[in-house]
Structure 1
Amino acid sequence: MKYVILIHSNPQPWGHPTDRFTEEGRAQSEEFHAASAQQFDALMEEINASGEFVTAMALADPASSTLYGWSPANGGEHLRTDGPYAETKEQLAGFFMIDCATRERAEEIAEHFAQPGGTVELRPAMWGDGDDQ
């Protein structure tokens, strides 16, 4: 079953890894960041070797986004607005897609993505027929 790990953060300035650019992350020691990076590398090796890693992508600053909408009031005209979209400090910073045998295994992996100044969301992926897979 495929799951998406969504990483929400508010780095200032925008940058990756986001935990180095959040207020909470900057408060951590260099030793903390080095140990976190080492643990992350080990996790990536593990899920690559097991075949659970599918893909991942870091996202650019939400201020660089363009939003598109549709309005029946304007005759179905497409509306274009500069980002960011969310009226919140935390924005989607990136995602990982994993393929795990059980939800419990996906949760075990997702908890490793929690970081200072960020929130991680685990969500099942849906495919063509609309059923959670």
Structure 2
Amino acid sequence: MRYLMIVKATPMSENGEFPPDAEKMFADMAAFNNEMIAAGVMLDGAGLKPSSEGKRIRFAGRGNTLVTDGPFAETKELIAGYWLIKCKDMAEALSWAKRIPFDEGEVELRPFQEPEDFQGLASDEAIAQEQAWREAQQRNAPRTPA
């Protein structure tokens, strides 16, 4: 099952700043990422630029959108980065999340909706198509050496 580990933004990350020990932080994160890659857990991960460089798109009916430029007010509702991981269950995903080399901050761990979760709601063909897309994405994804 796939899980998203969502790194919550902080006032520092929203200002586009890095901590004074950024070199150590990057080394620790690289070691953690390499460990997850070697274990076959990490599918993707990245930091995000501050919301001042982003946009929000609100939908009010098809074709009716409102675009708002960042920055956005509520830092506690923003994300600064993520990992996409694949684990056998929530316990395994949580064990990885607890090992993130952060001194402080917050990470939210959420499971993905998988195609089989829609059994009885979507057609078997639609579910099979979604599974085929996921398999194609994994086959075509760039490979990072561990």
Q: With structure 2 as the length reference, what TM-score do the two structures score?
A: 0.64
Mapped contact 1:64–1:83 kept (Cα < 8 A): yes
Say whether residues 1:4 and 2:9 are aligned partners. no
Equivalent residue number for residue 40 of structure 1: 29
Structure (1 or 2) with the greater strand fraction: 1
Task: State the distance in 1 between where 2:37 and 2:26 align.
Answer: 16
Say whether residues 1:52 and 2:38 are aligned partners. no
Equivalent residue number for residue 23 of structure 1: none
Equivalent residue number for residue 60 of structure 2: 71
Mapped contact 2:32–2:101 kept (Cα < 8 A): no
Mapped contact 2:2–2:112 kept (Cα < 8 A): yes
Among 75, 80, 86, which residue is 1:93 paired with?
Answer: 80
Q: With structure 1 as the length reference, what TM-score do the two structures score?
A: 0.69
Mind listing any 5+ residue stretches in structure 2 that lack a counterpart?
A: 119-146
Mapped contact 2:28–2:101 kept (Cα < 8 A): no
Task: State the distance in 1 between where 2:82 and 2:115 align.
Answer: 20
Cα RMSD of the aligned pairs, angstroms, is 2.8
Mind listing any 5+ residue stretches in structure 1 that lack a counterpart?
A: 21-25
Aligned length: 115
Mapped contact 2:55–2:67 kept (Cα < 8 A): yes
Mapped contact 2:29–2:101 kept (Cα < 8 A): no
Q: Report the AA paired with residue 33 of structure 2.
A: M
Query: What percent of counterpart residues are identical?
Result: 22
